[in-house]
Structure 1
Amino acid sequence: MVQLYVKSPTAPGATPEWMLIELQGAIESPDNEQLTGRFIGDLHFNLKGVPVLIIGHHILYGKVTDLEKPFIVLMKNENAAKVIDGDHASDAMDVDSSQDGNGRDNTLSQQDDTYYYVNAVIKKKMIFKARPKPIITNVPKKV
């Protein structure tokens, strides 16, 4: 089973929502190269809202379903200075200073903290279960 993700447009400041694409079988490149970051095909929706995936000379029809449990895509950042100075400054947690009974500070220094911020939420997936159908163009016959 191959799973891909699709980014959908969101309002500014909102957490982006992605969709998984689930395919039965495997996608292989002719050169046996990695498919990461490469163009695979075109994804369209017909008038009834059915997803249509065109890969090369094949067409697949699918359906959109909700996931039982949504996925959260997290981005790990091990250096606090990058998070605080970067685009996700509002996503960083505030840490209160705490001292134990001996007057020592129990909080970790900001350089040692690891932060995670929510990159996206995945609530739906597109399932393409049926076998791909070949796209055949009409070739005029010579008389």
Structure 2
Amino acid sequence: MVILIKSPAGENATEWAIIELQGDLKSHSESSFEGQFVGDLHFTKSGTPLLIIGHHLLYGKETRMEKPLALLEKKKNDAGIEYVIKCIVRKKIIFKTRPKPIVGATT
């Protein structure tokens, strides 16, 4: 079986990264996280990734992946099906420390 994969000529794809979390995300409801807002990703002035989920704060580290991944889009054409490379993922942001609670100021 032959699978056609092509890269669009002359297009500069935006740079993507994968977010890796150690542990589990749990919700009060039994519904899936698919398509749901999970948290905010920020970077400090020094470039450290910062993830805010609810009232928890996670500090991460940006690393280069040993083996890059390709994000492919499946398209149908006259000859059959082809896959077009949307981007190459070369970085990942790892959050492996325990979350720190965000505590508001007391008066």
When normalised by structure 2's length, the TM-score is: 0.84
Which AA in structure 1 matches 2:16?
Answer: W
- TM-aligned CA deviation for residue 17 of structure 1: 2.1
Q: Which runs of 4+ in 1 moved over 4 A?
A: none
Consecutive unaligned residues in structure 2, runs of 5 or more:
1-9
Partner Cα distance (2:93, 2:103) in 1: 25
Which AA in structure 2 matches 1:125?
Answer: K
Indicate which of 20, 23, 28 corresponds to 1:22. 20
Partner Cα distance (2:20, 2:33) in 1: 16
Q: Deviations over 1:22-42 (max 9, x none)?
A: 100111222121111211111
Partner Cα distance (2:56, 2:48) in 1: 16
Matched with 1:85 is: none
Indicate which of 81, 99, 102 corresponds to 1:132. 99
Question: Larger strand proportion, structure 1 or 2?
Answer: 2
Identity over aligned pairs, percent: 45
Indicate which of 51, 63, 66 corresponds to 2:64. 66
Alignment of 1:1-143 (within 5 A): 13-77=11-75, 79-80=76-77, 110=78, 113-140=80-107
Partner Cα distance (1:116, 1:44) in 2: 32
- TM-aligned CA deviation for residue 131 of structure 1: 0.3
Matched with 2:3 is: none
- TM-aligned CA deviation for residue 59 of structure 1: 0.1
- TM-aligned CA deviation for residue 16 of structure 1: 2.6
Q: CA contact under 8 A between 1:15 and 1:118: conserved in structure 2?
A: no
**How many residues in Structure 1 have an aligned counterpart in Structure 2?**
98
Q: Which of structures 1 and 2 has the bigger CA Rg? A: 1
Question: Larger helix proportion, structure 1 or 2?
Answer: 1
Q: CA contact under 8 A between 1:64 and 1:127: conserved in structure 2?
A: yes
Q: CA contact under 8 A between 1:74 and 1:118: conserved in structure 2?
A: yes
| Aligned Cα root-mean-square deviation (Å) | 1.5
